[in-house]
Structure 1
Amino acid sequence: MASLFLNHRRLLHLPVKVALRTAAALLLLFVSGCSSLLFYPSSVMVSTPANWQLAYEDVWLHSGDGTRLHGWWLPAQSPGERPVPAAAKGTIYFLHGNAENISTHIANVIWLPGAGYNVFLIDYRGYGRSEGEPDLGPVIEDVRSGYRWLQGQQELPLIVLGQSLGGALGGFVAATETPAPAAVVLDAPVASYPRIAAEVARRHWLTWPLAPLAASAMPRQYNPDSVIDRLAAPLLIFRSDDDRVVPPSHADTLFERATAPKVRIKTTGRHTATFNDEANRQGLLDFLDAHLGGAAKASRQGASGERQ
């Protein structure tokens, strides 16, 4: 969600006349009910996994409506300066935030192949090399298509890892797909689209009166907080009190409503900078080690808790 919020932050530094025009444009967008406000894609690929000395394959698949989607498959490898392919403990399905594309978000997961996990990164429609234009309902279907493709690839535990908007998408899909994943990890997730839209509007005096309109314009049927209690997989949530993009109360709502085994790790630092911290990386690996020993059994058993 960062780009949507940055647009509102810029209002703080605009001349009043320009800010008023910007607020008027936002009003028109809110009234139109345009959920594409959530998405700020870029088609510019600034790197590939090879820039990080990672082996990879380009993956092409089709969403439910035929839209062609692009992703990267990163196989598990041995740690060290000269990695070689290694047996995988599981496959992580990585869902990025609302801006740019997988070439910028890959930095969040470059460490996971060396920890023994395959990683699949997907670009939603309109992002990177994927076709189409993003809107919430179709993007949900893109995420489902990637999930189902992975389910058919191999018999390894499948872990959904989503950050920011990707946390909202991943949480919703993981809770509504069968079979359930082996585990779900959400980092700074959005719990409700109307709620975050209203919160963003309230951050500037010009758009503060538009908060009810902003909330009413956003779709509700894809809110992860309405389905998270149906999640049949262990859940790990990261949240930071320093997050100025998605309030940590969103993560708290999802944690409180989830009924599966769950762990919440309270962190510090900016939005989605979680895995810059070695302790948070280890927290994720420890969680997976605890729950992937028997994926079917772990889906309903295991310890819940909290770490700070």
Structure 2
Amino acid sequence: MGSYLAALLYVVCAVAAAALALLVAFQERLVYVPVLPGLSKSYPITPSRLRLPYEDIWLHAADGVRLHAWFIKIIPDCSGPTILFFQENAGNIAHRLEFIRIMLQRLKCNAFMLSYRGYGASDGEPSQNGIIMDAQAALDHLFLRNDIDTSKIVVFGRSLGGAVGSALAKNNPDKVSALILENTFTSILDMAGVMLPILKWFIGGCLSKGPKVLNFLVRSPWSTIDIISQVKQPILFLSGLQDEMVPPSHMQMLYAKAAENSSQCLFVDFPGGMHMDTWLSGGDRYWRNIQLFLDRFVLRATEIEGERISGSKVHDD
């Protein structure tokens, strides 16, 4: 009996070790999925298919990686906000074009869609540090343009894109006017146990009890919960309560953490919203809440700042 248990323990340990080795070796393939099963890496459509005028933009990140993006304007002289959109972890920016098309119509804005490194037509391989550099390159490009109002740049991130956007907003308090997060996770450390329950015994973040011994092996922790309290800009949280991938409690925790240090945080939930379709199931209420947020914290704030500057000039004269 003792030899049987010893053999069983050996097999269990061997399987666990093999699983851990695979996790360490291929973790990026779990976090980043540039190509959906059965599809190609290339864009299935471009904005022109939806009759959206656009520019192909080519950028270089700080480490030299060549990146691709689309800049879309539906009104040539549009002076409204420019939304820098960061997508989820799977697929490419072409799969988000229908959402962007409606967003442009409803919010009367510009849109900048970045392909992370390794995604779409961008070069390189995805990583946390690399994608943070990609996001910075996109923002820096927008600040070089003379056809937009750079005081109205809003970062919008869904899921992984929310982690990307939070890091960018924190690093650029004077360039990003506001942040919108939709169905974003607290951290990949917490998501590890959601995707593979056995991992919660070894890997975990703020939802864990006590430190986890294998956290150091995670190369892309994307700990948004640690970043969100350092974001100084207004933040809108959009949460689908039927999210089947990221537990809605993650968004609630992010909001609570941000609200500890800011009164400019708004939380809106959508009872029927799932991970990818909250914008659809939310209907008019979804877009109305985004517009109210922009009116309050971006458009009106810009007007007030303009009035203040104008007033000070009169006073100086």
TM-score of the alignment, normalized to the shorter chain, above 0.5: yes
Look up the match of 2:224.
224
Contact 2:79–2:149 (Cα < 8 Å) also in 1: no
Check 1:24–1:50 CA distance in 2 against 1; reply closer, same or farther (3 A cut).
farther
Letter in 1 for 2:22: L
* Structure 2: 5+ residue stretches without partners: 1-13, 36-40, 204-211, 306-317
Over residues 156-193 of structure 1, what are the superposed CA-to-partner deviations in whole Å (9 max), with x where a residue is unaligned?
30000000100111112211224241111000012212
Contact in 1 for aligned 2:62/2:133 (Cα 8 Å): yes
Q: Which residue of the other structure, out of 262, 267, 272, is the alignment partner of 1:264?
A: 267
CA distance in 2 between counterparts of 1:132 and 1:49 reads 24
Give the counterpart letter for 1:272 in structure 2: M
2:49 alignment partner, one of 11, 33, 51: 51
- TM-score where L is the length of structure 2: 0.77
SS in 1 for 2:83: strand
Pair 1:107-2:98 in alignment = yes
Letter matched to residue 31 of structure 2: L
Name the residue aligned to 1:173: 168
In the superposition, relative to structure 1, how do residues 230 and 190 fare at CA in structure 2: closer, same or farther (>3 Å)? same
Question: How much has 1:51 moved relative to structure 2?
Answer: 1.6
Go from structure 1 to structure 2 and tell me whether the alpha carbon gap of 1:143 and 1:214 turns closer, same or farther (over 3 Å shift): farther
Q: In the alignment, does 2:122 pair up with 1:130?
A: yes
What TM-score do you get using the length of structure 1 for normalisation?
0.79
1:95 is matched with 86
- Whether 2:201 is the aligned partner of 1:197: answer no
Is the aligned partner of 1:140 residue 2:132?
A: yes
> Please, what is the CA RMSD of the aligned residues?
2.6
Instruction: Supply the distance in 2 between the matched residues of 1:252 and 1:172 (Cα, whole angstroms).
Output: 18
1:219 Cα deviation from its structure 2 partner: 4.1
Change (3 A) 1:127 1:256: same
Q: Distance in 2 between matches of 1:149 and 1:68?
A: 13
Q: Does 1:275 align with 2:266?
A: no
Match of 2:301 among 291, 294, 297: 294
What secondary structure does 1:245 align onto?
coil
How far apart are 1:26 and its partner, in Å? 4.9
| Distance (whole Å) between structure 2 residues aligned to residue 25 and residue 270 of structure 1 | 34
Counterpart Cα distance in 1 of 2:58 and 2:160: 22
Q: Which amino acid aligns with 1:288?
A: L
> Higher Cα Rg: structure 1 or 2?
2
- Answering whether residue 149 of structure 2 is matched by residue 155 of structure 1, we say yes
Sequence identity percentage: 28
Quote the offset at 1:271 in angstroms.
0.5
1:182 equivalent in alignment to 2:174: no
Secondary structure of 1:37's match? Answer: helix
Q: CA deviation at 1:255?
A: 0.7
Which residue identity does 1:227 align to in structure 2? I
- With over 3 angstroms needed to count, the CA separation of the structure-2 counterparts of 1:262 and 1:55, relative to structure 1, is same
The structural deviation recorded for 1:75 is 0.7
Residue type matched to 2:267 in 1? R
Partner Cα separation in structure 2 for residue 184 and residue 57 of structure 1: 24
Kept in 2, the 8 Å contact 1:195–1:215? The answer is no
Amino acid at match of 2:301: G
- Retained in 2: the 8 A contact 1:185–1:236? yes
Please state which structure has a larger fraction of its residues in helix. Answer: 2
Report how many residues are paired.
268
Matched residues in 2 for 1:265 and 1:223: separation? Answer: 22
> Larger RCO: Structure 1 or Structure 2 (Cα < 8 Å, ≥ 6 residues apart)?
1
